[in-house]
Chains A and B, each alone.
Chain A
Amino acid sequence: MVLTVSLVVVAMFSLGLGAYHIPVGDVWGLLMHKIGLSNLPTEKALDDNVLFVVRMPRVLLGLLVGAALGVSGAGIQGIFRNPLADPGLIGISSGASLFAVLVIAFESLLFVGLSQLLGHYLLILGAFIGAGLTAFLVYRISLKEGRPQVTTMLLAGIAINGLAGAITGLMTYMATEQQLRTITFWMLGNLGGATWENVTAVAPFILIPMFCTLFFGKALNAFALGEMQADLLGMQTDRVKLWVVTLGTLAVGASVAVSGIIGFVGLLVPHTVRLLGGADNRYVLMGSTVMGAMVLTLADVLSRTLAAPIELPIGVITALLGTPVFLYILIKEK
């Protein structure tokens, strides 16, 4: 409950801050006007523009991506039975990066037709397909007699991550200056590309999987006892593994596709939520959704304001903030 209220507050705050400052009171007024509840004084027209065309989609994207990363992280930690697990383990991020880099590198050579058709969306589509392919590959490799094995998934994830990373590295090495800038910009993560079109296109891919994952609370709890006992309790672990991996891939794949690689959120948010209120997944899944949204929105505020008007890549912010927090947790738990 507390989390949800803080989330709303943070979101409002975030809408106001940035290179172009809008006081919080005005934000409220503008929102009310949009819904049709009050009158807008004319000199606020520029504010209106900034808020609704630029700022709002960006904040919404931050909320969506943060929530997606948070809940998928919690789900993956549930099936791997390990608080150090992260959606990246099953290859989603490296696959998305690989395909994004391929698109950037070969755009002028191979994808000219597609590029003209889809424009900006080519990159997003490529990244999404990449995320899906690698996760699918990792899942397929892990099947033994038709049943997914979690340890094999982990090892296959490491292998596929390595391979994708190597090819990505090779492509980066061969890229031109201009391509390199685009690649780096994408790899570090940024919410700057948010437009209403983007956000509405991506939203269902994030909201639906996110919503569905919330139903797996009980089953993920049972996983903690070991898969055999979870099965003996009737939790159908094979189905759970398939669903959590699929839903996570969709949500994180879509997020990564639009906003690049943003690390640490999937790992640290569920962990923090557990520290605050216990390990029961029925609470942790919901909490991670809300906290993930909040954390990323805050990180986005920082990325916009720390070096205004320059934007720092959000992946850098989450890494810079995340690492000391992670180390602190590790040391405290010793």
Chain B
Amino acid sequence: MPYMAPTPDTELKKGNAELLILALLEDKARHGYEIGKLIAERSEGVLRFHIASLYPLLYRLERRGWLKGEWEPAGGRRRRFYRLTHTGRKILGEQRTRWRAFSGAVDRIVEVRHA
């Protein structure tokens, strides 16, 4: 699960974890290790994954048909790469819209205090 210090709500974190993975796979296929690393790097350490939760989440999304995993050669060995399916892309769009609405609402409230 990603750790988001100010938001302890489990459902929110669960939904966000899915969104993060879908978003990272939007442009290109990636393997599990890379996904974990990217979340930590791009959030500059604010968001971190329990790696133990990452793989079950990937398999769950794969079972739902949002991702497709395939073994491909990489760096002299084979890696399981995940890419978005058509359904996954549609879900990403929906989740992104919801997230924007949510974060926009939070921003508006937070900005008001500083206005």
Q: A and B bound? A: no
Which B residues fall within an 8 A CB radius of A? Answer: none
Which A residues fall within an 8 A CB radius of B? Answer: none
